Amino acid sequence: MTGRGGVTTGPLPIGQFVQLVKQTVIRDPLFKNQALKGEVTQWKQYASGHTYFSLRDQDGQMRAVIWKGRCAIDPSIKEGSEVVILASIDLYVRRGEIQLNVERIEPVSILGELEKTKRLLVEQLRKEGELDRLRQPIPTLPRHIAIITGAGSAALADMQRLIENRWPGLRRTVIGVLVQGPRATEEIVRGLAAARRLSNPDVAKGRGEPPVDLVIVGRGGGSPEDLWAFNLEPVARAIIASPVPIVSAVGHESDVLVSDLVADLRASTPSDAIERVVPVLPELQYLLDEFEERLGVASRRQIHDSQQRLSILHARLRVAPMAGLNRAKANVLTLSSRIKVSTQKILGVQSTRLAQFEASLSAIHPQRVLERGYSMTQTSDGTVLSSIDGLNVGQQIILNFADGSADAEIKKTQLNEGTK
């Protein structure tokens, strides 16, 4: 054999060669933690606790070992099982055999079958048009929510906590059912039926509560098998048939189940369902307060505008010809009293504020100012004077008092000290 560098050496002991191969093989990342699938053959569990088998398909096979306690082994795995394993390559030097060290092993037969039935159900529902059906709207303000989920589950605790934060007093009925295992499908369907009866107005009346108007059905995350009830036809059919909108809230975000596809609303998790359907009470109250305020302000302004129109009408009436005067007068009187009534109706206590406003308005009326001892000076062309600027000696001016006016003449002008 020729070594690297061209130096001829003696033959390499096979053990060393196998070691070299092993070092090369186990270092390759491609051969580490690979997910592999195939059929189990020569399945043998030894008293030592180690399990040996071969993983094969029509094109090839390899030996595999599950070291004692390395991972849980599903008891259903036997000769001929389809499995998925997570394994790394190893080389058993003493025998020169490549083998797989198994980190995890899962049977695929159950899941494979489940996936197949799910696919068929979805296809069937699509053909029937159920996936495109018009969804029921979710009420903005649910009066009575039914929550169908595992009693005492973490998902229920999460939902309750969120509701407490958003609207602690919101009426709700929790129906505790099994959400996994062989009886889950039946219990979920019965839970949906109970919610449906609670949505019946007569039943609700008898119980002294509003009918259920929204249903949340769900559970927290889990393995695909754990969530499987939500992929089965009876649950899907019960959701489709519901007269009340249904929110499907199953698992974690990545799980899409048949119940999600047929529900009126799909929430990614139970918590997400609460966030999407339970309003935040203080926000609702704030909105109503705001409307109340705006309604009052806008109405008062409209009344005020009407009052102004009335004043104009009144002014025009004074210069109107006598013909039709009485009728117009009557109109004004009616309008006037109606405005008064409306104002009282709308303003209530606010009317005092309006009266105060009117009082302050009249306080600044020029006439009132004159009554307090001030006078107003005008030029002969009617310009109101507020400065001596532009006044000439000998100019004629008019002095206005509260009870009359006087003509006067400028004798002298003088700036106040400190005035520019």
Partner 1 sequence: MTDEIPTYTEAIRRLEAIVAILERGGMGLDETLKLYEEGADLLRLCKKELATAEGKLNELQLDEIETQLQTEEQ
| Inter-residue contact 121 to 57 (CB < 8 Å) | no
CA 157 to chain centre: 19
| Inter-residue contact 61 to 8 (CB < 8 Å) | no
Radius of gyration of the chain (CA): 45
Minimum CB distance to partner 1 smaller for 140 or for 392: 140
Q: Restricting to residues 42-81, name those near partner 1 by CB under 8 A.
A: none
Using CB under 8 A, which of 173, 331, 350, 351 touches partner 1? 173
Tell me the window of 104-112, 195-203, 378-386, 412-420 that interacts with partner 1 (CB under 8 A): 195-203
For 38-95, where are the alpha helices, taking DSSP H only?
Answer: none
Q: What letter does residue 69 receive in the DSSP assignment? A: T
Strand partners, 400: 376, 405
- Rounded distance, CA 131 to CA 115, Å? 18
Question: Shortest approach of partner 1 to residue 289 CB, angstroms?
Answer: 9
Binding track over 249-288 against partner 1, x by CB under 8 A: --------------------------------x--xx-xx
Beta-strand relationship, 172-176 and 214-219? unpaired
- Rounded distance, CA 310 to CA 179, Å? 72
Q: Does 201 bind partner 1 (CB under 8 A)?
A: no
Binding track over 344-383 against partner 1, x by CB under 8 A: -xx-------------------------------------
Phi, psi (degrees; rounded to nearest 5) at 269? -145, 165
Q: Does 144 bind partner 1 (CB under 8 A)?
A: yes
Strand partners, 378: 384, 398
Question: Shortest approach of partner 1 to residue 135 CB, angstroms?
Answer: 16
Binding track over 291-320 against partner 1, x by CB under 8 A: xx-xx--xx-xxx-xx--------------
Position of tokens 């001016």? 397
Q: Does 194 bind partner 1 (CB under 8 A)?
A: yes
Tell me the window of 11-19, 92-100, 197-205, 395-403 that interacts with partner 1 (CB under 8 A): 197-205
- The torsion angle over the Cα atoms of residues 13, 15, 19 and 24, rounded to 10 degrees, is 60
Contact residues toward partner 1 (CB under 8 A) are 139-144, 151, 167, 169-177, 187, 190-191, 194, 197-198, 203, 206-207, 209-210, 281, 284-285, 287-288, 291-292, 294-295, 298-299, 301-303, 305-306, 335, 338-339, 342, 345-346
